[in-house]
Amino acid sequence: MRALVTGAAGFIGSTLVDRLLRDGHDVVGIDNLSTGLMTNLDSAFDYYSHGGCGRNRFTFVRNDIQAPELADIVMGSNPDVIFHLAAQVNLRASVTDPLFDARSNVLGTVNLCEACREAGVRRVVYAASGGSRYGAPTHLPVSESVPLGPLSPYAVAKVAGELYLRAYAEMYGISPICLALANVYGPRQNPLGEAGVITVFASAMLTGRGTRIFGDGTSSRDYVYVDDVVDAFVRAGAAHDGVTDTFNIGTGLQTTVGEVHRLVSDAVGSCASPAFNATHPGELHAIALDSSKAEAVLGWKPTVGVADGVQKTIEWLRATLVPGSEAQAPPKALIGA
Ligand SMILES: NC(=O)c1ccc[n+]([C@@H]2O[C@H](COP(=O)([O-])OP(=O)(O)OC[C@H]3O[C@@H](n4cnc5c(N)ncnc54)[C@H](O)[C@@H]3O)[C@@H](O)[C@H]2O)c1
């Protein structure tokens, strides 16, 4: 299979690139490197584009998804499936600069839809936001049948991407699958971000910095491990052409931010208490996703529990962070929401 991954240098995108290459597929990655890092693609380059596997199976193109040349890149790559993960992912930044967010996440996705139409690409798998598409649902875990209720510019823009894909499906026969992701965590998540709270807490504790909780610690999220999420993308990419739908990808379980702090403290061996700050506008109190449709249709279910996932993430952080130094950390904060 030939796959094209937008947002290939990002946290989830680069993990997906590695998995696709390991599975034997040819991959073209696109990223503008606004938050993504070339180092996230080290393993993809090391083996798969330098002849280690016999021939070059990985190509990286530094490009913005809003750029007019996207159509030529898609046409030239001739992909069987496009995994669309490139996005401005900082919810708080979307509140302060909604125009920038919309340009990247709405216009960028429309540009990709047009490129798919011109190149005749059918299968598109889109990283939707399960944490924000339902607003503040009263019943948890929430299923896909609950009406849309985005409450922030980021949430509106991510939903708009889904709706554009649906419209292109109606108009031009594109076959989209939208994966509405819960809070994804794991190796390669930016440890200096404002969300991705597991790596944020863990990196702070490992480098001797203090931790902050926004709110009173009772707000809860559905934390899903990155390898499980990547598995959902792979299954969606391989799904029968007739499957076009939105699927929640989460564990269905709520973990409070206070519990996350305790889990990370225990794993790191830290006894420092967090500081507490006011919550930000546009952020939810509680969310958890019912993924039974993904299990029934895609055969997907999560395999990594949050305690194990926290351990794996901390092992990665221990191997990459220099204590007391931020020199190796990515330059810009990011949020997965
Ligand atoms: N991390 C989560 O918890 C989570 C939850 C729900 C949905 N998502 C979605 O998953 C996708 C990946 O998120 P992530 O957590 O890996 O974030 P990330 O910031 O690590 O990845 C996004 C990538 O897209 C690139 N990018 C941004 N704007 C671009 C543009 N205009 N053109 C080309 N490249 C661009 C960035 O450089 C980055 O490499 C996003 O679409 C995000 O909305 C993430």
CATH of the domain at 315: 3.90.25.10
Which residue has the least CA distance to atom 18 on ligand 1? 10
Distance CA 224, CA 308 (A): 11
Specify if 147 maps to a domain.
yes
What average pLDDT does the chain have?
A: 92
pLDDT confidence tier of residue 284, bands split at 50, 70 and 90: confident
Query: What pLDDT was estimated at residue 227?
Result: 98
CA of 270 to the centre of ligand 1 (A): 31
Query: What pLDDT was estimated at residue 54?
Result: 74
For this structure, is 154 an active site residue?
yes
CATH of the domain at 141: 3.40.50.720
- For the ranges 89-103, 252-266, 310-324, the lowest mean pLDDT is seen at 310-324
Query: Sign of dihedral through CA atoms 246, 250, 255, 260?
Result: negative
Q: Same domain for 11 and 74?
A: yes
Q: Same domain for 191 and 179?
A: no
Q: Which of 188, 142, 197 is nearest to 337 (CA)?
A: 197
Average pLDDT over residues 267-295: 90
Is the minimum distance from the CB of 179 to ligand 1 under 6 angstroms?
no
> Best mutation site among 65, 82, 89 for ligand 1, i.e. most ligand atoms within 8 A of its Cβ?
89
How many domains would you assign to the chain?
2
Q: Same domain for 122 and 211?
A: no
Q: Same domain for 71 and 189?
A: no
Reply yes or no on whether the pLDDT at 334 is more than 80: no
- Residues with Cβ within 8 Å of 124's Cβ and at least 6 positions away in sequence, in order, are 81, 82, 83, 84, 112, 113, 116, 165, 174, 175, 176, 177
Is the minimum distance from the CB of 199 to ligand 1 under 6 angstroms?
no
Distance CA 14, CA 35 (A): 12
Q: What is the pLDDT of residues 73-106, one digit of tens each?
A: 999 999 999 999 999 999 989 999 999 999 999 9
Is the minimum distance from the CB of 230 to ligand 1 under 6 angstroms?
no
Place of tokens 């594109």: 174
From the alpha carbon of 65, which atom of ligand 1 is closest? 32
Of the two residues 325 and 13, the one the predictor is more confident about is 13
Q: What is the pLDDT of residues 127-153, one digit of tens each?
A: 999 999 999 999 999 999 999 999 999
Query: What pLDDT was estimated at residue 191?
Result: 83
Of the two residues 11 and 192, the one the predictor is more confident about is 11
Q: Same domain for 104 and 137?
A: yes
Q: Same domain for 178 and 312?
A: no
The single residue of 48, 126, 134, 154 carrying the catalytic annotation is: 154
From the alpha carbon of 126, which atom of ligand 1 is closest? 41
Specify if 53 maps to a domain.
yes
User: What range does the domain containing 45 cover?
Assistant: 2-184+225-249
Q: Same domain for 19 and 131?
A: yes
Q: Same domain for 190 and 178?
A: no
Q: Same domain for 266 and 277?
A: yes
Q: Same domain for 130 and 217?
A: no
Specify if 275 maps to a domain.
yes
Q: Same domain for 245 and 265?
A: no
Q: Which of 89, 221, 195, 85 is nearest to 142 (CA)?
A: 221
Q: Same domain for 102 and 193?
A: no
pLDDT confidence tier of residue 195, bands split at 50, 70 and 90: low
Is the minimum distance from the CB of 289 to ligand 1 under 6 angstroms?
no
Upper half-sphere CA count for residue 312 (Cβ side, 13 Å)? 15
> Best mutation site among 5, 6, 12, 30 for ligand 1, i.e. most ligand atoms within 8 A of its Cβ?
12
Reply yes or no on whether the pLDDT at 331 is more than 50: no
